[in-house]
Structure 1
Amino acid sequence: LWVDWFELEGPVYDAWPPASVRQVLGDSASFVTSEPDANRTIADELPAAKTAIADFMRRAYRRPVDAAEVEAKVDLFQQARTAGVGYAEAIRSPLIAILMSPHFLYLTEPAADAVGDSKVDGKSHAPRPLTDHELAARLSYLIWSSMPDEQLMSLADAGQLSQPEQLSQQVDRLLADPKSTAFVNNFAGQWLGLREVGANPPAPDLYPHYDRHLETSIVGETEAFFAEILRHDLSVMNFVRSDFVVINER
Protein backbone atom coordinates (compact mmCIF):
# COMPACT_ATOMS: atom_id res chain seq x y z
CA LEU A 1 0.00 0.00 0.00
CA TRP A 2 1.47 3.33 -1.08
CA VAL A 3 -0.06 6.50 0.35
CA ASP A 4 1.20 9.78 -1.02
CA TRP A 5 -0.83 11.97 1.31
CA PHE A 6 -4.21 12.26 2.93
CA GLU A 7 -6.21 15.08 4.45
CA LEU A 8 -8.73 15.06 7.31
CA GLU A 9 -11.39 17.66 7.84
CA GLY A 10 -13.56 17.97 10.89
CA PRO A 11 -15.17 17.60 13.18
CA VAL A 12 -18.22 17.88 10.93
CA TYR A 13 -21.53 18.50 12.67
CA ASP A 14 -25.02 18.07 11.29
CA ALA A 15 -26.08 21.24 13.07
CA TRP A 16 -24.40 24.16 14.80
CA PRO A 17 -23.95 24.54 17.67
CA PRO A 18 -23.42 20.80 18.29
CA ALA A 19 -25.19 18.85 21.02
CA SER A 20 -22.17 19.06 23.34
CA VAL A 21 -22.29 22.86 23.26
CA ARG A 22 -26.07 22.94 23.72
CA GLN A 23 -25.79 20.64 26.72
CA VAL A 24 -23.39 23.03 28.47
CA LEU A 25 -24.83 26.38 27.38
CA GLY A 26 -28.53 25.60 27.17
CA ASP A 27 -30.54 28.41 25.60
CA SER A 28 -27.47 30.59 25.26
CA ALA A 29 -25.94 28.12 22.81
CA SER A 30 -27.76 29.97 20.02
CA PHE A 31 -25.41 32.90 20.67
CA VAL A 32 -22.41 30.77 19.66
CA THR A 33 -22.35 31.62 15.96
CA SER A 34 -19.67 32.46 13.44
CA GLU A 35 -21.49 35.68 12.54
CA PRO A 36 -22.29 37.84 15.59
CA ASP A 37 -25.64 39.62 15.69
CA ALA A 38 -24.95 43.34 15.58
CA ASN A 39 -28.37 44.07 17.07
CA ARG A 40 -27.83 41.88 20.12
CA THR A 41 -26.56 43.59 23.26
CA ILE A 42 -24.78 42.21 26.30
CA ALA A 43 -27.96 42.84 28.25
CA ASP A 44 -29.81 40.57 25.82
CA GLU A 45 -27.31 37.78 26.42
CA LEU A 46 -26.99 38.13 30.18
CA PRO A 47 -30.04 36.17 31.42
CA ALA A 48 -29.27 33.09 29.31
CA ALA A 49 -25.54 33.33 30.08
CA LYS A 50 -26.25 33.57 33.80
CA THR A 51 -28.51 30.51 33.67
CA ALA A 52 -25.89 28.53 31.73
CA ILE A 53 -23.16 29.48 34.20
CA ALA A 54 -25.32 28.62 37.23
CA ASP A 55 -26.33 25.23 35.79
CA PHE A 56 -22.73 24.42 34.87
CA MET A 57 -21.51 25.39 38.34
CA ARG A 58 -24.12 23.18 40.00
CA ARG A 59 -23.01 20.16 37.99
CA ALA A 60 -19.31 20.91 38.33
CA TYR A 61 -19.43 21.63 42.07
CA ARG A 62 -21.89 18.78 42.66
CA ARG A 63 -24.03 20.92 44.97
CA PRO A 64 -26.32 23.95 44.94
CA VAL A 65 -24.50 27.25 44.37
CA ASP A 66 -25.42 30.56 45.95
CA ALA A 67 -26.06 33.86 44.19
CA ALA A 68 -22.69 35.34 45.18
CA GLU A 69 -20.79 32.46 43.61
CA VAL A 70 -22.75 32.77 40.38
CA GLU A 71 -22.38 36.55 40.20
CA ALA A 72 -18.61 36.30 40.56
CA LYS A 73 -18.45 34.11 37.46
CA VAL A 74 -21.01 36.19 35.57
CA ASP A 75 -18.73 39.20 36.15
CA LEU A 76 -15.97 37.40 34.26
CA PHE A 77 -18.30 36.99 31.31
CA GLN A 78 -19.39 40.61 31.38
CA GLN A 79 -15.82 41.87 31.60
CA ALA A 80 -14.83 39.86 28.56
CA ARG A 81 -17.85 40.99 26.53
CA THR A 82 -17.32 44.63 27.52
CA ALA A 83 -13.73 44.31 26.30
CA GLY A 84 -15.06 43.35 22.88
CA VAL A 85 -14.59 39.60 23.07
CA GLY A 86 -17.18 37.51 21.21
CA TYR A 87 -19.82 35.55 23.08
CA ALA A 88 -18.24 32.13 22.54
CA GLU A 89 -14.89 33.31 23.84
CA ALA A 90 -16.41 35.33 26.68
CA ILE A 91 -18.48 32.45 28.04
CA ARG A 92 -15.32 30.36 28.21
CA SER A 93 -13.83 32.60 30.90
CA PRO A 94 -16.29 31.66 33.67
CA LEU A 95 -16.41 28.01 32.55
CA ILE A 96 -12.63 27.74 32.73
CA ALA A 97 -12.61 29.44 36.15
CA ILE A 98 -15.20 26.93 37.38
CA LEU A 99 -13.13 23.98 36.16
CA MET A 100 -10.04 25.42 37.88
CA SER A 101 -11.85 25.85 41.20
CA PRO A 102 -11.04 23.56 44.16
CA HIS A 103 -14.79 22.98 44.38
CA PHE A 104 -14.55 21.10 41.08
CA LEU A 105 -11.10 19.56 41.45
CA TYR A 106 -11.66 18.21 44.97
CA LEU A 107 -14.51 16.72 46.96
CA THR A 108 -14.87 19.66 49.33
CA GLU A 109 -16.55 18.97 52.66
CA PRO A 110 -16.50 22.13 54.80
CA ALA A 111 -15.84 21.95 58.52
CA ALA A 112 -18.80 21.63 60.85
CA ASP A 113 -19.28 25.34 61.57
CA ALA A 114 -19.16 26.17 57.86
CA VAL A 115 -22.36 24.25 57.23
CA GLY A 116 -24.33 25.58 60.17
CA ASP A 117 -23.15 23.41 63.07
CA SER A 118 -21.55 24.96 66.14
CA LYS A 119 -17.86 24.66 66.90
CA VAL A 120 -16.66 22.27 69.57
CA ASP A 121 -14.12 23.74 72.02
CA GLY A 122 -13.46 26.50 69.54
CA LYS A 123 -12.43 24.05 66.86
CA SER A 124 -14.13 23.83 63.47
CA HIS A 125 -13.24 20.25 62.62
CA ALA A 126 -15.81 18.45 64.77
CA PRO A 127 -17.31 15.39 63.05
CA ARG A 128 -20.63 15.95 61.33
CA PRO A 129 -22.97 13.95 59.09
CA LEU A 130 -22.45 14.31 55.36
CA THR A 131 -24.93 16.48 53.52
CA ASP A 132 -26.97 14.74 50.83
CA HIS A 133 -24.89 16.38 48.10
CA GLU A 134 -21.63 15.29 49.70
CA LEU A 135 -23.06 11.78 49.99
CA ALA A 136 -24.05 11.83 46.31
CA ALA A 137 -20.52 12.84 45.31
CA ARG A 138 -18.83 10.22 47.50
CA LEU A 139 -21.16 7.52 46.24
CA SER A 140 -20.77 8.42 42.59
CA TYR A 141 -16.98 8.75 42.66
CA LEU A 142 -16.63 5.53 44.65
CA ILE A 143 -18.67 3.40 42.24
CA TRP A 144 -18.45 5.27 38.91
CA SER A 145 -15.28 7.35 39.35
CA SER A 146 -17.39 10.16 37.93
CA MET A 147 -19.69 12.96 38.99
CA PRO A 148 -23.24 12.28 40.22
CA ASP A 149 -25.91 11.97 37.55
CA GLU A 150 -29.13 13.96 37.54
CA GLN A 151 -31.05 11.33 39.51
CA LEU A 152 -28.57 11.43 42.37
CA MET A 153 -28.52 15.22 42.31
CA SER A 154 -32.31 15.45 42.32
CA LEU A 155 -32.54 13.15 45.33
CA ALA A 156 -29.86 15.19 47.09
CA ASP A 157 -31.70 18.43 46.27
CA ALA A 158 -34.83 16.94 47.86
CA GLY A 159 -32.89 15.77 50.94
CA GLN A 160 -33.92 12.16 50.29
CA LEU A 161 -30.65 10.46 49.36
CA SER A 162 -29.57 9.88 52.96
CA GLN A 163 -32.75 7.95 53.71
CA PRO A 164 -31.64 4.29 54.16
CA GLU A 165 -34.11 2.80 51.71
CA GLN A 166 -33.37 5.39 49.04
CA LEU A 167 -29.63 5.08 49.57
CA SER A 168 -29.79 1.29 49.20
CA GLN A 169 -31.74 1.62 45.95
CA GLN A 170 -29.21 4.05 44.55
CA VAL A 171 -26.27 1.83 45.43
CA ASP A 172 -27.95 -1.02 43.58
CA ARG A 173 -28.66 1.24 40.60
CA LEU A 174 -25.09 2.49 40.39
CA LEU A 175 -23.67 -1.03 40.65
CA ALA A 176 -26.00 -2.25 37.90
CA ASP A 177 -24.80 0.47 35.56
CA PRO A 178 -21.88 -0.39 33.21
CA LYS A 179 -20.00 2.59 34.65
CA SER A 180 -19.49 0.56 37.85
CA THR A 181 -16.70 -1.21 35.94
CA ALA A 182 -14.56 1.67 37.19
CA PHE A 183 -15.07 0.47 40.79
CA VAL A 184 -14.28 -3.12 39.84
CA ASN A 185 -11.08 -2.09 38.06
CA ASN A 186 -9.92 0.32 40.75
CA PHE A 187 -10.81 -1.71 43.84
CA ALA A 188 -9.62 -5.07 42.52
CA GLY A 189 -6.58 -3.43 40.97
CA GLN A 190 -5.47 -2.05 44.32
CA TRP A 191 -6.67 -4.82 46.62
CA LEU A 192 -5.41 -7.76 44.55
CA GLY A 193 -2.45 -5.99 42.99
CA LEU A 194 -3.78 -6.52 39.48
CA ARG A 195 -2.09 -3.34 38.33
CA GLU A 196 1.25 -5.07 38.86
CA VAL A 197 0.45 -7.99 36.57
CA GLY A 198 2.86 -7.84 33.68
CA ALA A 199 5.44 -5.78 35.53
CA ASN A 200 7.80 -8.78 35.57
CA PRO A 201 6.85 -11.13 32.73
CA PRO A 202 8.46 -14.57 32.72
CA ALA A 203 11.31 -15.46 30.38
CA PRO A 204 9.90 -16.25 26.92
CA ASP A 205 12.19 -19.26 26.45
CA LEU A 206 10.78 -20.85 29.62
CA TYR A 207 7.15 -19.82 29.04
CA PRO A 208 6.68 -19.41 25.28
CA HIS A 209 2.89 -19.33 25.59
CA TYR A 210 2.91 -16.28 27.84
CA ASP A 211 1.86 -13.29 25.77
CA ARG A 212 0.01 -10.01 26.03
CA HIS A 213 -3.37 -11.67 25.52
CA LEU A 214 -2.76 -14.09 28.39
CA GLU A 215 -1.62 -11.22 30.56
CA THR A 216 -4.79 -9.19 29.99
CA SER A 217 -6.89 -12.34 30.41
CA ILE A 218 -5.41 -12.93 33.86
CA VAL A 219 -6.54 -9.48 34.92
CA GLY A 220 -9.86 -9.61 33.07
CA GLU A 221 -10.91 -12.95 34.54
CA THR A 222 -10.09 -11.85 38.07
CA GLU A 223 -12.01 -8.60 37.62
CA ALA A 224 -14.98 -10.49 36.16
CA PHE A 225 -14.98 -12.89 39.13
CA PHE A 226 -14.91 -9.96 41.55
CA ALA A 227 -17.72 -8.22 39.62
CA GLU A 228 -19.87 -11.38 39.71
CA ILE A 229 -19.64 -11.54 43.50
CA LEU A 230 -20.21 -7.82 43.88
CA ARG A 231 -23.20 -7.41 41.57
CA HIS A 232 -24.99 -10.53 42.75
CA ASP A 233 -24.27 -9.88 46.43
CA LEU A 234 -22.63 -13.27 46.88
CA SER A 235 -20.80 -14.37 49.99
CA VAL A 236 -17.28 -13.07 50.49
CA MET A 237 -16.30 -16.69 51.19
CA ASN A 238 -16.35 -17.22 47.43
CA PHE A 239 -12.99 -15.50 47.34
CA VAL A 240 -11.64 -18.39 49.41
CA ARG A 241 -13.75 -21.29 48.15
CA SER A 242 -16.23 -21.07 45.30
CA ASP A 243 -18.02 -23.57 43.08
CA PHE A 244 -17.65 -21.46 39.92
CA VAL A 245 -15.02 -19.68 37.88
CA VAL A 246 -15.07 -16.96 35.24
CA ILE A 247 -12.94 -17.80 32.20
CA ASN A 248 -12.64 -16.81 28.57
CA GLU A 249 -12.24 -18.93 25.43
CA ARG A 250 -8.53 -19.45 25.97
Structure 2
Amino acid sequence: MKNSQFPGRVAAAVALVFGVACTTLRAPLPASLENAPAWQLKKHRGGEGGQQLRFGNFAITDVRRGWRHSRSRGARLNLRLSSNEAGSVWVDYTEARSRQKLSFAFRPAGSPAPWLVQSVDSTWQQDPDEHGTYQTLRAVYRSTLQEPTQLPWLLQLRTDFSPQGRRVAGQLTRGADTVVHVQPLFEYAAVPGAWVQLRSATPTGYVFLNSAGHVLGAVEVLGCGTVWLAPAAPPELHPPLAATAAALLLMPGYDW
Protein backbone atom coordinates (compact mmCIF):
# COMPACT_ATOMS: atom_id res chain seq x y z
CA MET A 1 0.00 0.00 0.00
CA LYS A 2 0.99 3.61 -0.34
CA ASN A 3 2.86 5.32 2.49
CA SER A 4 0.92 5.76 5.71
CA GLN A 5 0.64 9.53 5.31
CA PHE A 6 -2.10 8.77 2.78
CA PRO A 7 -4.66 6.94 4.92
CA GLY A 8 -7.40 7.07 2.31
CA ARG A 9 -6.27 4.09 0.26
CA VAL A 10 -5.56 2.11 3.41
CA ALA A 11 -9.10 2.75 4.65
CA ALA A 12 -10.54 1.72 1.32
CA ALA A 13 -8.53 -1.50 1.34
CA VAL A 14 -9.78 -2.33 4.84
CA ALA A 15 -13.33 -1.73 3.66
CA LEU A 16 -12.72 -4.20 0.84
CA VAL A 17 -11.42 -6.87 3.20
CA PHE A 18 -14.51 -6.71 5.40
CA GLY A 19 -17.13 -5.69 2.86
CA VAL A 20 -16.53 -7.23 -0.55
CA ALA A 21 -14.19 -9.87 -1.90
CA CYS A 22 -12.79 -9.99 -5.42
CA THR A 23 -15.86 -8.82 -7.25
CA THR A 24 -17.05 -5.89 -9.31
CA LEU A 25 -17.95 -3.23 -6.77
CA ARG A 26 -20.47 -1.63 -9.09
CA ALA A 27 -19.52 1.98 -8.63
CA PRO A 28 -22.40 4.17 -9.85
CA LEU A 29 -21.78 4.45 -13.59
CA PRO A 30 -23.27 6.95 -16.08
CA ALA A 31 -26.31 5.67 -17.94
CA SER A 32 -24.38 5.73 -21.23
CA LEU A 33 -22.20 2.86 -19.95
CA GLU A 34 -25.01 0.57 -18.77
CA ASN A 35 -24.94 -1.40 -22.04
CA ALA A 36 -21.17 -1.26 -22.54
CA PRO A 37 -19.18 -4.51 -22.12
CA ALA A 38 -17.64 -4.84 -18.64
CA TRP A 39 -14.08 -6.14 -19.05
CA GLN A 40 -12.72 -7.56 -15.84
CA LEU A 41 -8.98 -7.64 -15.22
CA LYS A 42 -7.49 -11.13 -15.55
CA LYS A 43 -4.17 -11.80 -13.83
CA HIS A 44 -1.36 -14.20 -14.67
CA ARG A 45 2.07 -14.39 -13.03
CA GLY A 46 5.32 -16.06 -13.95
CA GLY A 47 7.26 -16.73 -17.14
CA GLU A 48 9.84 -14.55 -18.81
CA GLY A 49 7.47 -11.60 -19.04
CA GLY A 50 6.72 -11.58 -15.31
CA GLN A 51 3.29 -10.36 -14.31
CA GLN A 52 0.75 -10.40 -17.15
CA LEU A 53 -2.75 -8.96 -17.13
CA ARG A 54 -5.56 -8.70 -19.65
CA PHE A 55 -8.96 -7.09 -20.04
CA GLY A 56 -11.09 -7.29 -23.18
CA ASN A 57 -8.82 -7.21 -26.23
CA PHE A 58 -5.98 -5.47 -24.40
CA ALA A 59 -2.90 -7.08 -22.81
CA ILE A 60 -0.49 -5.76 -20.17
CA THR A 61 2.96 -7.35 -19.96
CA ASP A 62 6.47 -6.68 -18.67
CA VAL A 63 5.26 -4.84 -15.55
CA ARG A 64 8.22 -3.24 -13.78
CA ARG A 65 7.85 -1.51 -10.41
CA GLY A 66 10.70 0.50 -8.98
CA TRP A 67 11.46 0.99 -5.30
CA ARG A 68 9.74 3.86 -3.54
CA HIS A 69 12.39 6.44 -2.67
CA SER A 70 11.61 8.70 0.28
CA ARG A 71 13.31 11.62 1.98
CA SER A 72 12.28 13.93 4.77
CA ARG A 73 13.57 16.89 6.74
CA GLY A 74 12.59 18.62 9.94
CA ALA A 75 13.16 21.97 11.58
CA ARG A 76 12.00 24.10 14.45
CA LEU A 77 10.20 27.20 13.21
CA ASN A 78 9.23 30.43 14.92
CA LEU A 79 5.85 31.40 13.46
CA ARG A 80 4.08 34.67 14.06
CA LEU A 81 0.61 34.57 15.51
CA SER A 82 -2.38 36.11 13.74
CA SER A 83 -2.59 39.86 13.17
CA ASN A 84 -4.97 40.12 16.11
CA GLU A 85 -2.45 38.57 18.50
CA ALA A 86 1.02 39.60 19.55
CA GLY A 87 4.09 37.42 19.67
CA SER A 88 5.04 34.14 18.02
CA VAL A 89 5.18 30.41 18.71
CA TRP A 90 7.78 27.70 18.12
CA VAL A 91 6.57 24.61 16.21
CA ASP A 92 8.17 21.44 14.87
CA TYR A 93 8.07 21.44 11.07
CA THR A 94 8.40 18.31 8.94
CA GLU A 95 8.41 17.80 5.20
CA ALA A 96 8.46 14.41 3.45
CA ARG A 97 8.62 13.46 -0.22
CA SER A 98 8.49 10.10 -1.95
CA ARG A 99 8.70 8.89 -5.53
CA GLN A 100 8.13 5.57 -7.30
CA LYS A 101 8.43 4.60 -10.96
CA LEU A 102 6.36 2.07 -12.90
CA SER A 103 6.47 0.88 -16.50
CA PHE A 104 4.71 -1.75 -18.58
CA ALA A 105 4.00 -2.78 -22.15
CA PHE A 106 0.44 -2.36 -23.39
CA ARG A 107 -0.81 -4.08 -26.55
CA PRO A 108 -4.22 -3.58 -28.17
CA ALA A 109 -5.45 -6.56 -30.21
CA GLY A 110 -4.05 -6.41 -33.73
CA SER A 111 -1.38 -3.85 -32.87
CA PRO A 112 1.93 -4.69 -34.60
CA ALA A 113 3.95 -3.41 -31.64
CA PRO A 114 3.17 -2.71 -27.97
CA TRP A 115 2.78 0.72 -26.43
CA LEU A 116 5.25 1.71 -23.72
CA VAL A 117 3.66 3.18 -20.58
CA GLN A 118 5.95 4.91 -18.07
CA SER A 119 4.59 6.34 -14.83
CA VAL A 120 5.86 8.27 -11.82
CA ASP A 121 3.94 8.43 -8.54
CA SER A 122 5.01 11.30 -6.27
CA THR A 123 3.80 12.30 -2.81
CA TRP A 124 4.50 15.37 -0.70
CA GLN A 125 3.62 16.06 2.92
CA GLN A 126 4.04 19.26 4.93
CA ASP A 127 3.12 19.54 8.61
CA PRO A 128 2.25 22.15 9.61
CA ASP A 129 1.66 24.48 6.66
CA GLU A 130 3.38 27.86 6.40
CA HIS A 131 0.85 29.32 8.86
CA GLY A 132 1.40 26.58 11.44
CA THR A 133 -2.22 25.44 11.35
CA TYR A 134 -2.63 22.11 9.55
CA GLN A 135 -1.10 19.27 7.61
CA THR A 136 -0.98 19.39 3.80
CA LEU A 137 -0.81 16.21 1.68
CA ARG A 138 -0.43 15.97 -2.06
CA ALA A 139 -0.08 13.09 -4.54
CA VAL A 140 0.69 13.45 -8.24
CA TYR A 141 0.58 10.56 -10.71
CA ARG A 142 1.93 11.09 -14.24
CA SER A 143 1.97 8.55 -17.06
CA THR A 144 3.33 8.79 -20.59
CA LEU A 145 1.47 6.50 -23.01
CA GLN A 146 3.73 6.04 -26.02
CA GLU A 147 2.18 4.53 -29.12
CA PRO A 148 4.95 3.50 -31.57
CA THR A 149 5.88 6.28 -34.02
CA GLN A 150 3.07 8.55 -32.72
CA LEU A 151 2.86 11.61 -30.50
CA PRO A 152 2.55 10.35 -26.89
CA TRP A 153 -0.47 10.75 -24.64
CA LEU A 154 0.05 12.21 -21.16
CA LEU A 155 -2.05 11.28 -18.11
CA GLN A 156 -1.82 13.61 -15.10
CA LEU A 157 -3.74 12.93 -11.90
CA ARG A 158 -3.37 15.16 -8.84
CA THR A 159 -4.86 14.67 -5.38
CA ASP A 160 -4.76 17.39 -2.71
CA PHE A 161 -5.71 16.76 0.94
CA SER A 162 -6.40 19.56 3.43
CA PRO A 163 -8.79 20.33 6.30
CA GLN A 164 -11.12 21.82 3.69
CA GLY A 165 -11.44 18.40 2.04
CA ARG A 166 -9.92 16.43 -0.79
CA ARG A 167 -9.66 17.42 -4.44
CA VAL A 168 -8.88 14.98 -7.25
CA ALA A 169 -8.40 16.25 -10.79
CA GLY A 170 -7.04 14.50 -13.85
CA GLN A 171 -6.54 14.94 -17.58
CA LEU A 172 -5.43 12.85 -20.53
CA THR A 173 -3.92 14.99 -23.26
CA ARG A 174 -2.20 14.67 -26.61
CA GLY A 175 -0.67 17.89 -27.73
CA ALA A 176 -2.91 20.93 -27.35
CA ASP A 177 -6.00 19.69 -29.19
CA THR A 178 -7.14 16.47 -27.47
CA VAL A 179 -8.24 16.67 -23.84
CA VAL A 180 -10.01 13.90 -21.91
CA HIS A 181 -11.08 14.71 -18.35
CA VAL A 182 -10.53 12.02 -15.70
CA GLN A 183 -13.23 12.32 -13.03
CA PRO A 184 -13.03 10.27 -9.79
CA LEU A 185 -15.80 8.10 -8.32
CA PHE A 186 -16.04 7.59 -4.56
CA GLU A 187 -19.09 5.33 -4.11
CA TYR A 188 -19.79 1.63 -4.54
CA ALA A 189 -22.49 -0.91 -3.73
CA ALA A 190 -21.54 -2.67 -0.49
CA VAL A 191 -23.62 -5.75 -1.38
CA PRO A 192 -23.83 -6.60 -5.10
CA GLY A 193 -27.45 -6.34 -6.17
CA ALA A 194 -28.55 -4.50 -3.04
CA TRP A 195 -27.27 -1.10 -4.25
CA VAL A 196 -26.47 0.09 -0.76
CA GLN A 197 -24.02 2.78 -1.74
CA LEU A 198 -21.16 3.58 0.61
CA ARG A 199 -18.70 6.41 0.28
CA SER A 200 -15.07 5.36 0.03
CA ALA A 201 -12.11 7.25 1.45
CA THR A 202 -10.28 6.84 -1.86
CA PRO A 203 -11.48 6.75 -5.48
CA THR A 204 -13.19 3.48 -6.37
CA GLY A 205 -12.85 4.33 -10.03
CA TYR A 206 -12.65 7.02 -12.68
CA VAL A 207 -14.90 8.21 -15.53
CA PHE A 208 -13.44 9.55 -18.80
CA LEU A 209 -15.21 12.57 -20.32
CA ASN A 210 -14.54 14.60 -23.46
CA SER A 211 -14.46 18.39 -23.46
CA ALA A 212 -18.23 18.49 -24.08
CA GLY A 213 -18.90 16.34 -21.00
CA HIS A 214 -19.85 13.19 -22.93
CA VAL A 215 -18.82 9.91 -21.28
CA LEU A 216 -16.13 7.97 -23.14
CA GLY A 217 -15.46 5.18 -20.66
CA ALA A 218 -14.69 4.26 -17.06
CA VAL A 219 -12.45 2.09 -14.90
CA GLU A 220 -13.09 0.59 -11.47
CA VAL A 221 -9.75 0.34 -9.65
CA LEU A 222 -10.92 -1.56 -6.55
CA GLY A 223 -12.47 -5.02 -6.33
CA CYS A 224 -11.19 -7.09 -9.26
CA GLY A 225 -10.80 -4.10 -11.57
CA THR A 226 -13.20 -3.51 -14.46
CA VAL A 227 -13.00 -1.39 -17.61
CA TRP A 228 -15.84 0.01 -19.73
CA LEU A 229 -15.59 1.83 -23.07
CA ALA A 230 -18.66 3.69 -24.29
CA PRO A 231 -20.04 2.29 -27.57
CA ALA A 232 -20.33 5.88 -28.85
CA ALA A 233 -16.68 6.72 -28.10
CA PRO A 234 -14.60 7.26 -31.28
CA PRO A 235 -12.79 3.99 -32.14
CA GLU A 236 -9.45 5.81 -32.37
CA LEU A 237 -9.78 6.73 -28.69
CA HIS A 238 -10.31 3.15 -27.51
CA PRO A 239 -6.58 2.26 -27.27
CA PRO A 240 -5.50 5.41 -25.35
CA LEU A 241 -8.54 5.17 -23.05
CA ALA A 242 -7.76 1.51 -22.35
CA ALA A 243 -4.07 2.34 -21.76
CA THR A 244 -5.16 5.05 -19.33
CA ALA A 245 -7.37 2.55 -17.51
CA ALA A 246 -4.38 0.19 -17.29
CA ALA A 247 -2.16 2.93 -15.87
CA LEU A 248 -4.78 3.73 -13.21
CA LEU A 249 -5.26 0.06 -12.32
CA LEU A 250 -1.50 -0.37 -11.83
CA MET A 251 -1.05 2.90 -9.93
CA PRO A 252 0.99 2.28 -6.74
CA GLY A 253 -1.32 1.60 -3.84
CA TYR A 254 -3.45 -1.01 -5.64
CA ASP A 255 -2.17 -4.58 -5.37
CA TRP A 256 -2.63 -6.35 -8.72
Given the two structures, how large is their TM-score scaled by the length of structure 1? 0.20
Higher helix share: 1
Structure with max Cα Rg: 1
Name the structure where strand makes up a greater proportion of residues.
2
> What TM-score, normalized by structure 2, do the two folds share?
0.20
